[in-house]
Structure 1
């Protein structure tokens, strides 16, 4: 039976929709700020109070009221102090980070100030000059992170600043990885996919388990998938996703609750997904680069909640001919300064094709996984053309 090819963006949306359901079913747990990287918030975070709690100085100098003329220096303020009260016509020496005294509204930089007989003068300032306002980082009650946000290590700085010591996150997805193929099961060919998939899952913030490989037998494949689905939140399989008589993963998933049958992506087209006994099962192709491409461009969205692919611009060094067939082609490239060298092109260090991109050959050669990133193309690319390179480092 012919399969329906889905655009990659549509496949990603279906995975994100299912992710919402999966997160709702997940338990939650508190984690400290040093352990939040890669975790997904189960509850939103609001600022408990205004930060900073006072207007404060961003420069060393004198806190003044801008409508005072040559005020008398009546106090000195440091960051650990509470803001003092000043009378009309008074100013205060102030250190960077110190709270502004009541009724002052600007800081005259020390290098711009003239002090004569304990009175300070300088150029006329506008209110707010050299001042960080109260609540400039966060207003009391302001929503800073929504539930479902995937946190990064840098977010600990803001959370610490607003007085949050821990956050409530969803438990990590447990992920079972199943390699299919008689040649792998019998040890005639190495399993080239499971270990890098486990590494990706860890980098995406979840917990992988490499399970047993299974031969190209319909019953064995079905039992392996259903067993993994019974004990994991997610199952990743490799191999058996095409339309051949030995491609049993596709047959098993079609008998359950399919999310999509195929994606218009090369390499990586035979990627499919279904829900089996409540677990998400993503069937990835067996060729290493095809499996990697489908994992980082399609499956990754479920684990991270992210649909956008960050990119950098580089000049392509060689012409790459792409078929005009309404598919996205993932061209691996090596970055060299501001240039992108198509890895696998005859002009690169790994000569697999001349000018016409050969996704099948590229997908089968494990050296293509040494690329720095990929260029997604739907039409031919010219030498010298600026291209958007999606770096692998942001997909991990």
Structure 2
């Protein structure tokens, strides 16, 4: 389902954007905003004002104002929208404040630190009529969309599998996380699997472990098997402490479907073998979605398109929440050593969101949902048509 939001107008003037967060990802977003002709960077917010000034100076934009208050600087600079690149624990507060002040938000993944907080943000978007889009930047990849095109052409999907093997030495917080692979990285292939299969998660069985040579404190390896709507299975196996013959950051993919198989190494064009004699390649010759850009530049372009009156973008919060739910369900399955139903996670998260919500109007929106799944999948979808 697609549509426009009440705040959207068909206006081609550059959008005045306020960036929140001046760390490593913040600097990447700063460069991306400055390079986008349809956007104008009007301010940077960070608790460390010197870090914000240093980031702007390095980008040649020292004249851009900085402050440690999102709404105050947005009002002062007449911003049109907010780009939130803070740590996940801050997403709920910053996004809520911006939405309630009338500003659409483009936020880094995940939508929030927890599923209940993400549901609160979806309800806040409904109440305010303001767009909240989550940047799943790795899904803005034209080769991933080609894989999805091939999947559609090959008929009913049976199994989609992803292998992800890397050995990064990040240092810092990732190496101290309890679930570094699942919580910090797996949301990307989980989101991509939903796109490729045009399907949603039903259940998951997952096991995590930490190889004895791992330099991570938490479990750096995991295998998860998801049942998806329509009956297909999505199998994910990954490790963040796997030196040698590493995969792409996008992983290595294989789709087994009714009429053949498609392979994608995560970097080059997908390969397909159609047992009907090449028909899938012909059927997928025309992409189902025009390219808007790749990576975070693609996320920004899609956000700007939506603000200009275009359809709800891939990553709109309602559709994106189920990618975060896949992460939380996988973590819980690993802890339980058993199969977890996604609807169980959703309904429990709704109860927690209702209990924690401090705004009456947002709580009323949450309470009005007939079911969490229906509320999320009936809203503008993260799966582009």
TM-score (norm 2): 0.22
**Larger relative contact order (Cα-Cα within 8 Å, sequence gap ≥ 6):** 2
More strand by share: 1
In the superposition, the TM-score normalised over structure 1's length comes to 0.22
Larger radius of gyration: 1
